């Protein structure tokens, strides 16, 4: 690192960090540093060797490494500084400057000053203990992402007889991957009555290989002293409680868990960034600025996405906003602020609040619904009793993030400081 | 021929090995597992107890206060993580309050210093998250939380450095009296020793019965726990016990040395003394009981469940005596065994001396040890430290901020780890919220590299706990 | 009539394919979906992604994919072709690793750059 003060520091060089840095550069910043903890750029995409990335953004199907490669190519020669193998361990927020504490074998311990920070640290996997599966604690229980790293990056086999808990996309992808490498995947088990992954992955990762998917089932016990030997699977009732008498047993040496991702916000919290309990990510405004001035967030650290294409778009917006913050200074006149509140039918929204004056033509709002909506339904925004906007959808599911564009003119009609969003079945 | 063979490398065996290493003695420690501290010493409540609990007429009562004091000295000498948090034994009703007074009296008889009885208001002031139904408590300041496996390892590391031989993966299957001492048969070979010390925890009854008349019966007693993420904040500042009742000791809510929150244990006699599985029923029961003390407890922030099996027995006390010629039992060591371990070791030396063992002190003996913990290095010194030791600049475990330097140092200390859990116990990797999901593959690679092993040979924990089973692209379908 | 879930894009349209009516597809939202629906019944194809060995301590494996879809029944034979491949860096995205996979006309190509 040559400079000790930057306009912008981006923490993380996965898809979010790469796109954010490039966008900030395009929007006029010249002194940008990207800090990556791994030894190379690309983040989790490097181990996502399957295809299916980029249809929205590039209009073609790419593998994870190819998708990352497109951004890494652009970064070369862009003048953006990059350090890899470097961990940010602390973030301080001041009035004019933010201080990033980073450490590496090469550069030692550094306190780097910058005007703006973009948080792009991604997420981590929920573990067996977060969902409290009882039993013994042998080897052979892997988070799907950890397994993916061993198999795809290290070239190591992690087991021969596998059961998968959770039908999230990583779990489905690993079911196929393990099968192709010669393992036997006995089943994929999902607690909820619907899959958390994309339909296409259920078809091409499970159906193609005759791997059964059991909905409303879960693993209730793990046995095996040193390596996994057997698991108990049980059906669950509508309250997700195991139903006695439904026990089935699987002789497996490996359990893969794909039971959810959690935005990784320890650094954010330390810097005083307000965290939204619904997303486990920062509470952000329309321009992806967090509750802390000059700190922006994008990608899976903000909320867990199902498509990397949306991460890219979101991160470009964060890069643009961070550039504006550095070049134009902090907002002086905040004006009308509306908080977006979720009714029980909506799990969360991003952003969580909007400064109406800052919205140019329209505001894009990402949201997730709390259950499958198979009938035609509406995403409805209300200010008190007044419907501000209504968006029709034929089908919605928790596993598939929705997004809507609310025009500025409609936001201007909001009188109060709360905008409520809910899902309502269409009238026949 | 060894002078002394210690069977078992838990906290009792390690404390004795540490104390014996100051003398001119040939000492061997035989441990059936692949590392030190793999029994009850690694899965317990991690507390240095004040000493108010054991009856004054027991060995436990006699050794506890001295043991606690010795622990607090040793943690400094051995650079072991410890915090003197004090403990509270809380009362919910008059019946409990009577018990609090009983414990106070018992504590006085056992020599526990500085105890106080607090009223409900004072308890609430000190511990705002505790139930408002609590009407009073016993306060025991001379107690705290410790890293139990580090304590065990540290003592054994010094012992090994000072000449004690540690033999791992040596399960004892027979003990035969010889002319002078014993022939010890293990699954892999034989050892001879003049004196044998039985410090085998839940297995101590079996070993005892190899050379002496049955004298006690072990009831392996499993206790299950939750460990909560730091994100729930500091739920309690001190160790919070409930009053012992006919239903059991009651579960505790305790801070850990790393500012996590530990909740547990229940108490259940199990047939298989190695059955450390957790069960839904017991975990639910622990949760229910713990919420009595801390109604707002967020068990959803659980980062690990575990269980330990304690060597409870029908004897009702530690069984420490010369049970046969040249054979010393340090058996039936249950709670407060961790606290008492250093004092048990000196007591054992008294017994061995009475039994004829000669103790000649070495001219030089260094009973200390120190380790580098990067996160404890002041910020202004970190830069220089990494310049000198670049590996301390690479963070491997991001949850706990553990660097490659700490991992490599741990590998090259006197007892070489063979597993990810071995590194966890030495360096603290994987202790955090991701439970080694992120650092696991990296630690595995470092351990293989530093010990010259294939990655397939690196274990998760005990023998047979293989993580990787081969390479991809081997053409199997 | 057969019902299928389209895998062309993440939308996952529910398709109906009428085998008795010249494999006419309904329920699709794009042309690609229509083609997929027909093909899936007549001769289903998939893109295969995997890895190959690399002579490198830092990167023991390199990701690859078929540059076009191959018949489903060729997936496992295609995988076997990768077992014996050993690449030496530097490797460039697009480098061909296996030509004409199992007679399908598709190639396995490298999907990332790997330096020495």
Spatial CB neighbours of A49, under 8 Å, sequence gap ≥ 6: A63, A64, A65, A152, C49, C50, C51, C63, C65, C111
Q: Residue A192 contacts by C-beta under 8 Å, 6 or more apart in sequence?
A: A215, A216, A240
Which residues pair with residue A4 across a beta bridge? none
Question: Pick from B225, B297, B237: which is nearest to B43 by CA?
Answer: B225
CB contact under 8 Å between C76 and B474, yes or no, is no
The set of chains that have 3 or more CB pairs under 8 A with B is: A, C
The two tokens of residue A37 are 């903890």
pLDDT at B451: 98
Tens-digit pLDDT string for chain A (428 aa): 444 699 999 999 999 999 999 999 999 999 999 999 999 999 999 999 999 999 999 999 999 999 999 999 999 889 999 999 999 999 999 989 999 999 999 999 999 999 999 999 999 999 999 999 999 999 999 999 999 999 999 999 999 999 999 999 999 999 999 999 999 999 999 999 998 888 889 999 999 999 999 999 999 999 999 999 999 999 999 999 999 999 999 999 999 999 999 999 999 999 999 999 999 999 999 999 999 999 999 999 999 999 999 999 999 999 999 999 999 988 888 899 999 999 999 999 999 999 999 999 999 999 999 998 988 999 999 999 999 999 999 889 888 899 999 999 999 999 999 999 999 998 76
Provide the whole-model pTM: 0.95
Measured CA to CA, the distance from residue A283 to residue B220 in angstroms comes to: 50
Q: Please name the residues between 336 and 375 in chain A that touch chain B, using a CB distance below 8 Å.
A: none
Nearest CA in chain B to A121: B398
Q: Which of A157, A218, A258 is the best substitution to test chain B (most B C-beta atoms within 10 A)?
A: A157
Q: Where are the domains of chain C?
A: 2-43, 49-110
Give CATH for domain B1-82+143-216+314-370. Answer: 3.50.50.60
Q: Does A240 touch chain B (CB under 8 A)?
A: no
Residues of chain C positioned with their CB less than 8 A from the CB of A50: 49
Partners of residue A153 in chain C, C-beta under 8 Å: 59-61
Subunits touching A (CB < 8 Å, at least 3 pairs)?
A: B, C
The structural architecture, per CATH, of the domain C49-110 is: Roll (3.10)
Q: A127-259 — its CATH code?
A: 3.50.50.60
Which residue from B473, B474, B477 is facing C76, i.e. has the nearest CB?
B477
In chain A, residues with a C-beta closer than 8 Å to the C-beta of B473 are 155, 181
Scored b (16 or more CB within 10 A) or e, B358-369 reads eeeeeeeeebeb
Structure tokens at A154: 């290290």
Comparing CA positions, the residue from A12, A6, A41, A39 lying closest to residue A25 is A6
pLDDT, residue A2, reads 40
The Cα–Cα gap between B53 and B62 comes to 11
User: Residues B93, B98, B101, B107: is their CA dihedral positive or negative?
Assistant: negative
CB B36 within 8 A of CB B14: yes
Q: Supply φ then ψ for residue B212, to 5 degrees.
A: -140, 165
Instruction: Decide if B382 touches A, using CB distance below 8 A.
Output: yes
- Could you tell me if B312 and B334 are in contact, meaning their C-beta atoms sit under 8 angstroms apart? yes
- The answer to whether the CB atoms of C111 and A65 lie below 8 A apart is yes
| Residues on chain A touching B475 (C-beta within 8 angstroms) | 182
Identify the CATH class of B83-142+218-313. Answer: alpha beta
Residues of chain B neighbouring A127 (CB-CB closer than 8 A): 303, 433-435, 437
What does the domain layout of chain B look like in residue ranges?
A: 1-82+143-216+314-370, 83-142+218-313, 374-474
Inter-chain touch C61–A199, beta carbons under 8 Å:
no
Nearest to A200 among C12, C76, C111 (CB): C12
Q: How many CB pairs under 8 A join A and C?
A: 75
A69 contacts in C (CB within 8 Å)? 93, 111-113
Tell me whether 0.90 is exceeded by the ipTM.
Answer: yes
CA torsion sign for B185, B189, B195, B198 is: negative
Cβ separation of A158 and B469 shorter than 8 Å? yes
- Res B475: pLDDT: 54
Question: How far is Cα B137 from Cα B238, in angstroms, rounded to an integer?
Answer: 12
| Residue A383 to residue A364: CA distance in whole angstroms | 18
Measured between alpha carbons, how far is B182 from B204 in angstroms, rounded to an integer?
17
Residues of B within 8 A of C83 (CB-CB) are 473-475
What is the 3-state composition of chain C as percent helix, strand, coil, each rounded to the nearest 5? 25, 35, 40
Instruction: Decide: A300 and A311 in contact? Cβ < 8 Å.
Output: yes
The pLDDT score that the predictor gives to residue A428 is 63
Q: How far apart are CA C11 and CA B378, in angstroms?
A: 52
B388 to chain C, closest Cα gap in Å? 25
Contacting residues for A21 by C-beta, under 8 A, at least 6 apart: A8, A10, A13, A32, A34, A75, A80, A118, A319
Coil vs helix vs strand at B419? strand
Residues 28-57 of A with CB under 8 A from C: 39, 46, 49-52, 55
pLDDT number for residue B56: 96
Q: Which of C51, C76, C80 sits opposite B472 (nearest CB)?
A: C51
Model pLDDT, residue B49: 97
Domain positions in chain A:
6-124+262-328, 127-259, 352-425
**Cβ separation of B472 and C76 shorter than 8 Å?**
no
Residue B350: predicted pLDDT: 98
The reply to whether CATH 3.40.50.9100 applies to domain A6-124+262-328 is no
Which residues 52-81 of A have a C-beta within 8 angstroms of B? Answer: none
How far is Cα B86 from Cα B140, in angstroms, rounded to an integer? 5
Q: Which of B49, B62, B203, B208 is catalytic?
A: B49
Chain A residues whose CB is inside 8 A of the B404 CB are: 105
Low-confidence ranges of chain C (pLDDT < 50): none
Q: Which residues of chain B have pLDDT under 50?
A: 476-477
Of the candidates A101, A143, A225, the beta carbon closest to that of B437 is on: A143
Partners of residue B87 on adjacent β-strands: B140, B239
* Rounded-to-integer distance, Cα B75 and Cα B60, Å: 21
Would you call B217 a catalytic residue per the annotation? Answer: no
Using a 10 angstrom Cβ sphere, with 0-12 exposed, 13-18 middle and 19 or more buried, the burial of residue A131 is: middle
SS (H, E, C) A157-211: ECCCEEEEECCCHHHHHHHHHHHHCCCEEEEEECCCCCCCCCHHHHHHHHHHHCC
Mutate to test the interface with B, among C57, C58, C80, C81 (most CBs of B within 10 A): C80
Q: Please enumerate in sequence order all residues whose Cβ is within 8 A of that of B247, keeping only pairs 6 or more positions apart, or say none.
A: none
The beta-carbon neighbor of B475 closest among C51, C52, C80 is C80
């Amino acid at each position: 690192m040559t400079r000790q003060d930057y306009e912008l520091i981006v923490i993380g060089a996965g898809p979010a960090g790469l796109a954010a840095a490039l966008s900030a550069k395009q929007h006029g910043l010249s002194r940008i540093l990207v800090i990556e903890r791994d030894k190379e750029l690309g983040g989790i995409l490097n181990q996502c060797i399957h295809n299916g990335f980029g249809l929205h953004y590039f209009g073609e199907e790419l593998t994870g490494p190819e998708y990352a490669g497109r951004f890494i190519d652009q970064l070369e020669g862009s003048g953006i500084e990059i350090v890899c193998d470097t961990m940010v361990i602390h973030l301080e927020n001041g009035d004019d400057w933010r201080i990033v504490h980073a450490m590496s074998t090469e550069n030692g311990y550094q306190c780097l000053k910058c005007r703006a920070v973009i948080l792009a640290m991604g997420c981590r996997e929920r573990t067996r203990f977060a969902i409290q599966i009882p039993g013994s604690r042998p080897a052979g229980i892997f988070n799907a992402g950890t397994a993916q790293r061993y198999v795809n990056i290290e070239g190591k086999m992690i087991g021969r007889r596998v059961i998968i808990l959770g039908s999230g996309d990583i779990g489905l992808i690993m079911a196929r991957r393990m099968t192709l490498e010669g393992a036997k995947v006995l089943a994929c088990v999902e607690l909820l009555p619907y899959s958390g992954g994309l339909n296409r992955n259920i078809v091409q990762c499970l159906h193609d290989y005759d791997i059964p998917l059991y909905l409303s089932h879960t693993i209730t016990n793990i046995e095996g002293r040193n390596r996994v030997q057997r698991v108990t699977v049980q059906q669950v009732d509508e309250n997700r409680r195991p139903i006695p008498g439904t026990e089935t047993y699987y002789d497996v040496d490996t359990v893969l868990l794909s039971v959810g991702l959690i935005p990784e916000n320890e650094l954010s919290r330390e810097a005083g960034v307000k965290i939204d309990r619904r997303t486990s990510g920062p509470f952000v405004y329309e321009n992806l600025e967090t509750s802390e001035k000059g700190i922006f967030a994008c990608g899976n650290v903000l909320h867990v996405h199902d498509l990397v294409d949306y991460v890219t778009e979101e991160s470009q917006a964060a890069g643009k906003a961070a550039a504006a913050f550095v070049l134009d200074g902090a907002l002086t006149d905040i004006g009308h602020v509306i908080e977006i509140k979720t009714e029980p039918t909506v799990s969360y929204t991003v952003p969580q609040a909007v400064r109406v004056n800052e919205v140019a033509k329209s505001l894009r709002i990402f949201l997730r619904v709390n259950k499958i909506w198979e009938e035609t339904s509406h995403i409805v925004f209300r200010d008190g009793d007044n419907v501000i906007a209504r968006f029709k959808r034929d089908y919605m599911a928790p596993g598939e993030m929705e997004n809507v564009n609310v025009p500025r003119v409609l936001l201007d009609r909001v009188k109060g400081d709360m905008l409520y969003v809910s899902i309502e079945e269409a009238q026949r | 021929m060894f002078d002394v063979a210690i069977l078992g490398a838990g906290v009792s065996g390690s404390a004795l090995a540490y104390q014996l290493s100051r003398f001119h003695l040939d000492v061997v420690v035989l441990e059936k597992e692949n590392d030190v501290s793999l029994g009850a010493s690694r899965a317990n409540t991690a507390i240095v107890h004040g000493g108010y609990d054991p009856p004054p007429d027991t060995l436990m009562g006699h050794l506890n206060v001295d043991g606690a004091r010795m622990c607090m000295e040793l943690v400094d000498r051995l650079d072991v993580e410890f915090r003197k948090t004090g403990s509270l034994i809380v009362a919910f009703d008059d019946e409990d309050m009577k018990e609090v007074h009983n414990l106070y009296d018992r504590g006085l008889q056992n020599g526990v210093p500085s105890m106080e009885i607090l009223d409900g208001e004072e308890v609430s002031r000190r511990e705002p998250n505790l139930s408002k139904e609590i009407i009073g408590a016993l306060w025991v300041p001379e107690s705290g939380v410790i890293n139990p496996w580090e304590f065990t390892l540290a003592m054994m590391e010094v012992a090994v450095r000072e000449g004690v031989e540690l033999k791992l993966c040596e399960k004892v299957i027979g003990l035969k009296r010889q002319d002078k001492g014993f022939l010890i048969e293990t699954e892999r070979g034989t050892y001879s020793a003049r004196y044998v010390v039985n410090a085998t925890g839940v297995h101590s009854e079996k070993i005892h019965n190899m050379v002496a008349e049955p004298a006690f019966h072990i009831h392996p007693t499993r206790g299950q726990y939750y460990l909560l993420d730091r994100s729930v904040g500091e739920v309690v500042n001190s160790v919070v016990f409930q009053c012992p009742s006919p239903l059991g000791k009651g579960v505790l809510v305790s801070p850990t040395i790393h500012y996590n929150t530990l909740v547990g244990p229940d108490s259940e006699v199990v047939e298989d003394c190695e059955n450390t599985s957790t069960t839904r029923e017991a975990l639910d029961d622990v949760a229910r009981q713990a919420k009595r003390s801390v109604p707002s407890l967020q068990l959803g922030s659980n980062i690990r469940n575990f269980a330990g099996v304690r060597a409870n027995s029908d004897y009702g006390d530690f069984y420490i005596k010369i049970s046969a010629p040249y054979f010393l039992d340090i058996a039936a060591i249950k709670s407060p065994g961790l606290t008492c371990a250093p004092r048990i070791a000196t007591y054992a030396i008294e017994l061995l001396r009475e039994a004829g063992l000669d103790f000649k002190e070495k001219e030089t003996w260094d009973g200390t040890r120190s380790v580098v913990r990067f996160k404890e290095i002041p910020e202004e010194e970190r830069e220089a430290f990494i310049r000198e030791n670049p590996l301390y600049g690479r963070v491997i475990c991001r949850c706990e901020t553990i660097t490659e330097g700490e991992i490599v140092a741990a590998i090259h200390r006197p007892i070489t780890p063979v597993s990810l859990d071995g590194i966890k116990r030495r360096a603290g990797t994987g202790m955090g919220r991701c439970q080694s999901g992120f650092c696991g593959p990296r630690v595995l690679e470092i351990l293989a590299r530093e010990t010259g092993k294939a990655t397939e040979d690196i274990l998760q924990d005990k023998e047979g706990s293989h993580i990787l089973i081969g390479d991809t692209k081997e053409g199997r379908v | 009539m057969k019902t299928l879930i389209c895998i062309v894009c993440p939308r996952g349209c529910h398709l109906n394919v009428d085998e008795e009516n010249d494999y006419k597809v309904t329920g699709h939202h794009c042309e690609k979906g229509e083609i997929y629906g027909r093909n899936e019944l007549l001769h289903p194809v998939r893109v295969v992604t995997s890895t190959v060995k690399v002579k490198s301590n830092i990167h023991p494996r390199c990701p690859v994919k078929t540059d076009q879809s191959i018949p489903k029944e060729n997936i496992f034979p295609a995988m076997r072709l990768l077992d014996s491949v050993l690449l030496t860096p530097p490797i460039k995205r697009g480098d061909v690793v296996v030509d004409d996979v199992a007679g399908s006309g598709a190639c396995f190509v490298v999907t990332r750059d790997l330096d020495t």
